[in-house]
Structure 1
């Protein structure tokens, strides 16, 4: 049966993805406390892989494509406490990592590459929580264009022309005498004149008047969010804190 140590020797250079399948980085090195229990992976993350983040081996599984899957999110791995990968992990750094990842069920001791005993100094690390704030897109509403027909009444003044009769009389002169003397001297006669007038004619035609479309634009508002964070405080007993003298 292949031991876990024999299997993880092939993990260097493997891609590591989070629970959603997002790539976190590639494995730089496996960190162990002894030859039977690997504890941490250092993973190249950040822009161009120039940053190393520590990731627990616990919970890692191998995907079908040979990549490694971790139950932790990409953001959680990248936000892990900064640790110098050129040296060993001392007990304080290990505890910081355990706290960041939720203690992993238990806290093992010091983890190193060369299994050298790196003893913790007599300092105590104080930690505090900070809010991580981001944004998430969500649907805020929908709009649509709908065209419908309404009936209005328009009034238009239309100039129209008509013919009217007027009686014109002219005396007999030498100029019109010949025309006046034609026909019988005494007789009955009728003369009919046709009158014309214009009437308004109404017709309809559809004329395009404008184009209407919906356009989206981005506006930026500021919203205030709040949340509770925890801070560790360190009290001293039997010693004077020179940094806080009155």
Structure 2
């Protein structure tokens, strides 16, 4: 720090900056100072700098929020375009292309989900997760679907339903992921084996269990039982409570759903 002693009408010049400081008057412990500076240099009293810093911080926060909103809209638009393209492709029987569009939509939704998690407030930290297990039941027979879904709900499960594999994949992309997919094998548009393959090829679904609930044998459908295929196979007619017990063992271990 440069310390100078100056009296009234003395000037201090900063030639490289184009600033001149003049001592106008000395009155006891107070000194009246004049500052002459170029127009592009902002001069503030010290007590105002905190206000300025607050304004700058608020402006930076607004810019960051604007960028987040922009990115969010882009992600939503990408997901919407992918799903709209998928519908067109399905109408024309382009199933492989439709599946690729669906994966693109899933990617955009994953990015949205990740962004949302980073913005969760600290107040939510430590809150217990929803203990209710979720199941997606994929069955083209509406009567069977309604009856089994009702039994699962009465057994403590949250259940969503789909009529075929394509509808199931759309729901996997658009909604919260289930803990388990209960899957018939003989269905229109996308059958069970193709649905299993689509789920297993997507690393985002690596934690999802897949149970086959069908009238066929595994060898008939050429579906593997294991981590690359279905986790368990139930042949119709099934005993609903045995299915629920197996679900509890697979998903909850010793903690049974009652």
* Category of TM-score, reference length = shorter chain: under 0.3
